[in-house]
Structure 1
Amino acid sequence: MQLPQPRGPVSAALADALAGPPRDIPLIEPSDDEDLQLVLHMGYELHYRGFDGVDDAWEWQPSRIALHQAAERCFEAELRRLVPMPDPVPPAEVPRALAAVMAADDGPPLSKYLAGRATLEQYREFVTHRSIYHQREADPHTWAIPRLGGRAKAALVEVQTDEYGGGRVERMHAELFRGTMRELGLDDTYGAYLDAAPAATLAVNNLMSLFGLHRRLLGAILGHLAIYEMTSSLPNRRYGNGLRRLGFGPAATRFYDEHVEADAVHEQIAANDLCGSYCADRPEQSSLVLFGAACALALDARFAGHLLTRWAAGESSLRAQSDAIGRPLVGALGA
């Protein structure tokens, strides 16, 4: 993946530094959320696959870590303003409390819109946004595996084994999503659309990395995964139906159809065997589990609201009108 185009003073300083050998980077305040979310995404990417031509030593370079920690503090402070920390519940009540978080969600009806009304161009935009996560699907939650033990660890491994296709590359969910991208005429190269993804999209992904990479937030990444599994089946059915409405076949819908069945099973494992077992061992962590779930829904609602608001105005929901390698996209995405 190429280094992205800067969006403000901090992302500009970081991109400039990463293009050369490791050196000290001054601490600079982000200019806005676009700048902040890109800095976070760039920093987290160094813990995943990294960027072309960027020295691996940058991953743990001290001043870069300091810059990233400052950005994380800003992000986490905003999360805690947006989502009050829930009250703790008894471990046996954790699955029910997660269901209550799900029931209270009143986010914009993005999946209904995509199923019944979205144009092909809007659907391609949606897939472009989601490529930022789905091309590394499951990876942020996998950080939790070595931090768990016992029944909770076994439950997470069971879920993640399905996410990674049971060892078969063609069944890995990230690979299934790449098939959807190709069917829609999109570039399935890892990170191809980073420059087109707005802050609302990057924040959804940065949340997973923030929770996954900090052991103090282990409960939050477990709650995040649980609520994703609990709220996945119906929207994915709608996404698949939307593609079928637009004339696409199994090669395009396989990713979504797979999640309809798999996530119905994962829902019970994640809520009961994963989060329930974890809180049975760590009762004080129930608030953090519920916080992670609520944060996931809050940022997803912001993301959905961004797309639906821009589309209602007849505008693109993406930042750029062309893709990361300069080829114009069709319809509402460019040409």
Structure 2
Amino acid sequence: MITTPVAPRSPTPRGPLSDAVSATLTSSPDTTATRLEPVPIRQADPWGEDLQLALYVCYELHYRGFAGVDPGWEWNPELLRLRGEMEQYFLDAVREQAGEVSPLDELLARLLTEPRTGDGPSHYLLAGGERWQAREYLMHRSLYHLKEADPQLWAAPRLGGAAQTAFLSIEYDEYGAGHPERAHSRLFAEMMADFGLDSTYGRYVDAAAAPALEVVNLMSLFGLHRALRGALIGQFATVEITSSPGSARLVRAFERLGAGPAGLRFYREHVEADAVHEQLVRHGVIGPLLATEPALAGDVAFGIAASSLAEGRLSAHLTGEWAAGRSSLRGGPLAEPGLG
């Protein structure tokens, strides 16, 4: 059943950081009274369930918020201070893992080269994945795709001229090009319904593993900071350039797994649209952006490297668990009708 997006319920905490954030949001955001207790941020695993969920909850306040949570928490200084400390810890870890990033031209060339063999989820599902694995894949991806393009849209006022125009033309397509029924978030919801999943916004946050949270958190982190606008464009470019071949594999995989027309439309749209977007993002967005702000080349490259690492972690988690015969969801398969 496809439902109208509303504020989701708050997810269940996964450790001291997410517990502190969740507990705080049950109180009033009165800035004169709010004082958050110190939490051991730098003792947490930067890629772990606790820190990633705590960041996700903080970021979600800028999207649709949570049912029963006062909207005033979005800009509460104490919560922003805590979020800033978690962000810096996470960003430091990402930069350390990325190491010395290759030149932008080299990274773009790699993105444009489709490997002859691959081991990611689209390859796995096409080669012999089962329907329950496809469902799990959609559950993880729903954290982003049910709000597809929203994190990137924050870059729009931070660009200018030709780069802004080209960027917004791509975003216009993401939101359905004037046709609400063609918005990518809507198509993804319809695909979930075709697979017997609940398409309610935020429904599967509790089931999603840390790598799925990280992929979305990285977009939000880049999008919410003007200083990281170049990194957001790098993330944006990574998705647009690499999406088309993977989408084509998923169409074939889902056809084999019995998907109906609604279960194929989302990825069929991405096969065609992202083939065009790939050219536009390179020549219409990145080219003009660097012509006016050449110093951002390193940030764009970092965004590509960081998002590739995050996607790699999610890919390894999904295929690793599936290959071992296990569910990739937290707590194992969901015990509800249609999800077995």
Q: Normalising by structure 1, report the TM-score.
A: 0.92
Q: Distance in 2 between matches of 1:87 and 1:279?
A: 17
For structure 2, list consecutive stretches of 5 or more residues without a partner in the other structure.
Answer: 1-7
Q: Deviations over 1:8-41 (max 9, x none)?
A: 0111111111012112212312443111000110
What do you get for the CA RMSD once the two structures are aligned? 1.8
- Residue number in structure 2 paired with 1:145: 156
Give the 3-state SS of the residue equivalent to 2:295 in structure 1.
helix
Q: Distance in 2 between matches of 1:329 and 1:249?
A: 15
- Residue number in structure 2 paired with 1:177: 188
Structure 1 residue 166: deviation in Å? 1.0
Q: Is contact 1:102-1:227 (8 Å) kept?
A: no
Q: Distance in 1 between matches of 2:304 and 2:118?
A: 14
- Residue number in structure 2 paired with 1:8: 15
Change (3 A) 1:319 1:277: same
Q: Distance in 1 between matches of 2:64 and 2:76?
A: 16
Q: Is contact 1:114-1:239 (8 Å) kept?
A: yes
Q: Is contact 2:10-2:67 (8 Å) kept?
A: yes
Structure 1 residue 223: deviation in Å? 1.1
Say whether 1:47 aligns with 2:54: no
Q: Normalising by structure 2, report the TM-score.
A: 0.91
Pairing 1:118-129 to 2, within 5 Å after superposition: 118-129=129-140
Q: 1:58 aligns with which of 66, 69, 73?
A: 73
Q: Is contact 2:107-2:304 (8 Å) kept?
A: no
Q: Distance in 2 between matches of 1:318 and 1:245?
A: 23
AA in 2 matched with 1:194: V
AA in 2 matched with 1:20: S
Q: Distance in 2 between matches of 1:251 and 1:221?
A: 30
- Residue number in structure 2 paired with 1:100: 110
Q: Is contact 1:101-1:294 (8 Å) kept?
A: no
Pairing 1:58-77 to 2, within 5 Å after superposition: 58-77=73-92
Give the 3-state SS of the residue equivalent to 1:24 in structure 2.
coil
77-86 or 252-261, which deviates more = 77-86
312-321 or 256-265, which deviates more = 312-321
Q: Is contact 1:85-1:288 (8 Å) kept?
A: no
AA in 2 matched with 1:135: L
AA in 2 matched with 1:26: E
Q: Distance in 2 between matches of 1:246 and 1:328?
A: 18
Q: Distance in 2 between matches of 1:101 and 1:171?
A: 27
- Residue number in structure 2 paired with 1:280: 291
Q: Distance in 2 between matches of 1:114 and 1:79?
A: 29
159-168 or 17-26, which deviates more = 17-26
AA in 2 matched with 1:224: Q
Structure 1 residue 99: deviation in Å? 2.1
Change (3 A) 1:60 1:5: same
Say whether 1:232 aligns with 2:243: yes
Q: 1:223 aligns with which of 228, 234, 242?
A: 234
Say whether 1:260 aligns with 2:271: yes
- Residue number in structure 2 paired with 1:305: 316
224-233 or 19-28, which deviates more = 19-28
- Residue number in structure 1 paired with 2:24: 17
Q: Distance in 2 between matches of 1:107 and 1:56?
A: 44
Q: Is contact 2:333-2:339 (8 Å) kept?
A: no
AA in 1 matched with 2:170: V
Structure 1 residue 329: deviation in Å? 5.4
Q: Distance in 1 between matches of 2:130 and 2:119?
A: 18
247-256 or 127-136, which deviates more = 247-256
Structure 1 residue 84: deviation in Å? 2.2
Give the 3-state SS of the residue equivalent to 1:158 in structure 2.
helix
